[in-house]
Amino acid sequence: MLNDAQLTKDGLVPHGRGRVLIIACGALAHEILALKRQNGWDHLDLACLPAILHNHPEKIPEAVRAAVQENATRYQKVFVAYADCGTGGQLQATCAALGVEMIRGPHCYAFFEGVDRFIAKAEDEFTAFYLTDFLVRQFDAFVWRPLGLDRFTELRDMYFGHYTKLVYQAQTDDHLLDQKARSCAEKLGLAYERRWTGYGDLAHVLGEQ
């Protein structure tokens, strides 16, 4: 992996000295790139794995392992921008075996809101269905069509009958995304709540790299 930030007038920076590779879920690419721009984190490089892996979380640990092993010698440090993401602790075990850090928390909904705050609310919000900016944009591709709701709308109540509200965790102040999130709630037959989170813990952990 080579990019302009790794070049000096004398050539490649030896062994990626001073550079950090962020191996991230593709669902976080937009947010990580925005944080890089806002904060001038030019020492961070980004490599994203397909966001669709979330539909098969058992595949995430091996995909992360392969990405770390492919790139580790090229960088001073590798950081994994995933939470557990449904892997049942297997991703944490993989990262520990590889000697790399990852984001604390069960999933991106938690670290966007702030893991401690999210956990404190969990018992009162077990009937909430969460969307982030990415999932609002990709609602049809990641929710509606994979569940077959584009073909069999009668399945909606089977999948979402135990939910009471859709919580849109907004990373950005985007009126169009707000409108689309509200439409997603209507399609699922759920009450709607927009909750501003910004980048939450993601900003803090990347700032430490």
User: Is 166 exposed, middle or buried, given 0-12, 13-18 or 19+ CB atoms closer than 10 A?
Assistant: buried
Query: How large is the average pLDDT for residues 34-42?
Result: 96
- What is the DSSP secondary structure assignment for residue 142, as one 8-state letter? I
**49-108 confidence digits (pLDDT tens):** 999 998 899 999 999 999 999 998 999 999 999 999 999 999 999 999 999 999 999 999
Do both 87 and 142 map to the same domain?
A: no
Least confident window among 9-13, 147-151, 178-182: 9-13
Checking phi first, is residue 164 left (phi over 0); if not, alpha (psi -120 to 50) or beta?
alpha
**101-145 confidence digits (pLDDT tens):** 999 999 999 999 999 999 888 888 889 999 999 999 999 999 999
In this predicted structure, what is the pLDDT of residue 123?
81
Do both 92 and 137 map to the same domain?
A: no
Tokens of 133: 């900016």
Residue 98 in any domain: the answer is: yes
Looking from the CA of 17 toward its CB, the CA atoms found within 13 Å total: 6
Do both 83 and 119 map to the same domain?
A: no
Cα 55 to chain centroid distance, Å, stands at: 13
Q: What's the number of domains the chain is made of?
A: 2
Do both 93 and 27 map to the same domain?
A: yes
We report the CATH number of the domain holding residue 52 as: 3.40.50
Residue 150 sits in which domain range?
114-196
What pTM does this model have? 0.85
In this predicted structure, what is the pLDDT of residue 122?
81
In this predicted structure, what is the pLDDT of residue 5?
36
Do both 51 and 90 map to the same domain?
A: yes
